[in-house]
């Protein structure tokens, strides 16, 4: 038994008052016997015995009057029901409704989300006078501290809010929802509390993040597993992942993908179609077979036709569950990068010749400056710097370091004169230089190894296994070289690194170990020279070409590089093409982008105040939403038992057609204050009758 107003139980102290009065009336008096009254002694004994019995009955009745009255005001609740008393305890009800995408499937009972809403409506219609309720969306972006629904007793208002709930791509979280429910139960007006969970009970719903425990013994938990009574075997394929094999993108280049598809069915799929779309236009299609309950990797590719942001997606044909038939990703095909080349004219002869060709000018905007221009140019307007000199003042060093650390990029070449100042600068960028090495024309140094997986070589050579066959390459003859022995090697020769890479702050640097002239090697004369220089420029200037992919509902904060976030105002372009001006907090490392702000699947673009693309990312439905089979009741119960210490207050209501009946039978209890009040009145009437009979008897005697 529980009490809604337990403080009234203090009034039970008053039940002792009749007892105290009775004891006071029993005080012993001094008896003086008179001889003339002795003959009445036997008669008085009988009368006194009858009087004492009446006094005890009155004492009991008066004590019960006070006790029943106090208990009635305390409003006790008992479990179960009493025939003839169907008035349940006033309850505060919270309904958790799963509105994740996995609910948008249909079985022999209809659409599961519609079933969930109808179940919630039955719960609302079962509310009695004095009950209050609120509804929480389990898959809402608002499952956080700013979400503030309120209890209401208005059934029409509750049903209206229920009708407005939409499906969300965010996974349902039982723990988050129960945590929020516990918070609102603290402000509930009624003693009895009922928590209803309406969900398809997928395993990802039970993902546990902490040791949440509900230990309020007045809370009853009712779980309604949608789909439990279904015998449907769904045929469903899902796109689980998209791996973009191409590392950077240019017009005319083929984008190669590896797509993972999963068959969640008990039946093999024959001749299924997969499509690749660029900016909603179908650019490639493939058919495939996949066995039941298996996963398959499918290669697919298409050519890039224009520059800019490409909102891409992989699509499957329609099946039982549409939401997992799409997987989004995005990438940037850069406009012509702006690069600055610093150094004396004689040092830059071959570089100038290279970037003056029609082919180069169609792809890259190159500007040449002498080394003194580093001191006064706005370096941030360039996507990449090529530094072909060795005399660096402190101001030059600082400006270049600031530029690269904030997201810029640089390519370093050695020059004829190498000093400690140059070595120290390269060491700060992560390239420790060895001594200059000289080789004879008869025995020049040559390349010995390539990092075949580096993006610079993407599609450049035919691989022999995972390695590049050096014999395929027009290998240069190196006469003089200043190799690095640190950084990440891209091309090696027998005594060190010919081409190496390192990260510096938010930017990247490459170091070529030979000067771009014929005194050091015949490298500038080979076909490899323009390929490596062009690819190096495109690689460094397009560091954000491939957008990041996240699950909807990710609790992550990503950083927009400082170079692209000098102003907190950004333009957001969502997957539907809507444009919004937003502000992101600026930190020392750049602008902070919270992914919890977004809940629509697709490709997003972030444009900075200079109208440059600052960030591209895609949001996809988590792949574990694709499990749309029958709920696992054992897993469900196990998780619920781990979240509460009151296992006897957990009820699983699996029969959708008898929900109202089963709910009525499982309710937490019945208020019995009216019974106690009737008992108090009955005792009061009995007390008056006994009192009146007693007086009449005394008078007659």
> CATH number of the domain that 314 lies in?
2.60.40.10
Shared-domain flag, residues 572 and 594:
yes
Pair 255, 138 in one domain: no
Strands (E), 65-218: 76-78, 91-97, 106-107, 110-111, 132-137, 192-199
Pick the last residue of a domain from 540, 570, 596: 540
pLDDT in tens, 460-493: 766 555 556 656 677 889 999 999 998 999 999 8
Asked if residue 385 and residue 513 are part of one domain, the reply reads: yes
Q: Return the pLDDT at 159.
A: 94
Same domain, 159 and 284: no
pLDDT of residue 391: 87
Q: What is the pLDDT of residues 178-205, one digit of tens each?
A: 888 888 888 888 878 889 999 988 877 7
Residues 419 and 466 in one domain: yes
Q: Which residue shows structure tokens 């230990």?
A: 215
Structure tokens at 444: 């020049």
Are residues 354 and 485 both part of a single domain? yes
Residue 33 lies in a domain: no
Asked if the model's pLDDT at residue 218 lies above 90, the reply is no
CA–CA separation, 243 and 228 (whole Å): 36
Residues 375 and 495 in one domain: yes
680 in a structural domain = yes
| CATH number of the structural domain spanning residue 226 | 3.40.50.410
Percent of the chain with pLDDT strictly greater than 70? 82
Cα separations in angstroms, 440 against 413, 491, 519, 521? 22, 21, 12, 11
CA-to-CA dists, residue 496 to 407, 488, 499, 531, angstroms: 28, 11, 9, 22
Residues 319 and 371 in one domain: no
Q: Is residue 34 domain-resident?
A: no
> Tens digit of pLDDT for each residue in 360-374?
888 899 999 999 999
Distance of alpha carbon 89 from alpha carbon 21, whole angstroms: 37
Residue 145 parent element (H or E): none
Asked whether the beta carbons of 568 and 586 are under 8 A apart, the reply is: yes
Residues 219, 241 within the same domain: no
Lowest-confidence pick of 236-240, 391-395, 682-686: 682-686
pTM, two decimals, is 0.70
* Per-residue pLDDT tens digits for 623-672: 888 877 777 777 777 777 776 665 557 888 877 666 766 666 555 456 67
Residue 456 lies in a domain: yes
User: Do 369 and 466 reside in the same domain of the chain?
Assistant: yes
Rounded-to-integer distance, Cα 190 and Cα 201, Å:
29
pLDDT at 251: 81
Give yes or no: residues 504 and 519 share one domain: yes
Note down the domain range covering 277: 237-334
Q: Same domain for 362 and 459?
A: yes
Cβ-in-10-Å burial (0-12, 13-18, 19+) of 655 comes to: exposed
- The pair of structure tokens assigned to 69 is 């009255």
- For the chain, what is the domain count? 5
The CA angle 58-62-68, to the nearest 5 degrees, is 140
């Amino acid at each position: 038994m529980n009490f809604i107003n337990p403080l009234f139980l203090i009034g039970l102290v008053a039940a002792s008052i009749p007892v105290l009065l009775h004891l006071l009336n029993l005080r012993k008096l001094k008896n003086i016997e008179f001889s003339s009254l002795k003959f009445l002694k036997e008669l008085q004994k009988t009368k006194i015995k009858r009087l004492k019995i009446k006094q005890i009955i009155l004492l009991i009745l008066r004590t019960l009057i006070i006790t029943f009255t106090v208990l009635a005001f305390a409003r006790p609740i008992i479990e179960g029901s009493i025939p003839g008393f169907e008035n349940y305890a006033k309850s505060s009800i919270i309904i958790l409704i799963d509105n994740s995408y996995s609910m948008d499937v249909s079985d022999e009972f209809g659409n599961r989300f519609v079933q969930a809403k109808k179940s919630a409506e039955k719960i609302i219609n079962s509310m009695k006078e004095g009950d209050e309720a609120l509804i929480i969306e389990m898959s809402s972006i608002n499952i956080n501290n700013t979400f503030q629904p309120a209890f209401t007793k208005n059934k029409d208002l509750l049903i209206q809010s229920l009708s407005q709930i939409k499906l969300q791509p965010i996974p349902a979280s039982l723990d988050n929802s129960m945590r929020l429910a516990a918070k609102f139960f603290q402000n509930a007006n009624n003693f009895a509390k009922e928590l209803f969970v309406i969900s398809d009970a997928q395993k990802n719903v039970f993902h546990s993040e902490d040791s949440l425990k509900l230990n309020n013994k007045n809370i009853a938990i009712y779980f309604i597993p949608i789909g439990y009574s279904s015998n449907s075997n769904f045929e469903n394929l899902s796109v689980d992942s998209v791996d973009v094999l191409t590392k950077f993108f240019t017009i005319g280049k083929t984008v190669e993908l590896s797509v993972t598809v999963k068959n969640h069915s008990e039946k093999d799929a024959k001749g299924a179609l997969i499509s690749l779309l660029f900016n909603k236009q179908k650019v490639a299609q493939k058919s495939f077979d996949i066995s039941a309950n298996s996963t398959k990797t499918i290669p697919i590719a298409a050519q890039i036709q224009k520059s800019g942001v490409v909102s891409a997606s992989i699509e499957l044909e329609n099946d039982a569950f549409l939401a997992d038939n799409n997987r989004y990703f995005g990438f940037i095909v850069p406009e012509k990068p702006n690069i600055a080349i610093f150094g004396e004219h004689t040092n830059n002869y071959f570089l100038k010749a290279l970037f003056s060709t029609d082919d180069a000018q169609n792809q890259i905007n190159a500007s040449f400056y002498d080394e003194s221009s580093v001191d006064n140019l706005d370096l941030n307007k360039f996507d990449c710097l090529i530094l072909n000199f060795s005399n660096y003042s402190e101001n030059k060093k600082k400006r270049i370091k600031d530029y690269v650390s904030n997201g810029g990029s640089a390519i370093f070449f050695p020059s004829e004169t190498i000093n400690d100042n140059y070595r120290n600068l390269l060491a700060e960028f992560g390239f420790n230089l060895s001594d200059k090495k000289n080789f004879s024309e008869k025995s020049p140094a040559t390349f010995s190894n390539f990092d075949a997986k580096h993006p610079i070589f993407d599609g450049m050579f035919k691989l022999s296994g995972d390695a590049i066959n050096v014999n395929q390459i027009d290998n240069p003859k190196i006469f003089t070289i200043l190799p690095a022995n640190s950084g990440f090697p891209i091309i090696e020769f027998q005594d060190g690194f010919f081409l190496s890479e390192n990260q510096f702050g938010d930017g990247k640097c490459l170091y070529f170990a030979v000067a771009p002239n014929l005194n050091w090697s015949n490298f500038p004369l080979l076909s490899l020279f323009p390929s490596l220089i062009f690819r190096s420029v495109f690689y460094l200037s397009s560091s954000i070409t491939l957008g990041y992919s996240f699950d909807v509902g990710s609790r992550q904060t990503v950083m927009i590089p400082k170079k692209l976030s000098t102003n907190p105002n950004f333009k957001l372009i969502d997957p539907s093409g809507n444009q919004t001006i937003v502000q992101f907090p600026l930190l020392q490392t750049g602008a902070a982008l919270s992914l919890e702000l977004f809940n629509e699947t697709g490709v997003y673009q972030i444009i900075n105040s200079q109208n440059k693309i600052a960030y591209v990312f895609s949001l996809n439905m988590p792949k574990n939403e694709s499990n749309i089979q029958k709920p696992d009741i054992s897993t469900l119960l196990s998780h619920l038992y781990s979240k509460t210490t009151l296992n006897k207050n957990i009820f699983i209501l699996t029969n959708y057609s008898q929900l109202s009946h089963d709910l009525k039978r499982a309710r937490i209890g019945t208020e019995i204050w009216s019974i106690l009040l009737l008992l108090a009145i009955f005792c009061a009437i009995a007390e008056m009758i006994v009192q009146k009979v007693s007086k009449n008897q005394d008078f007659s005697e």
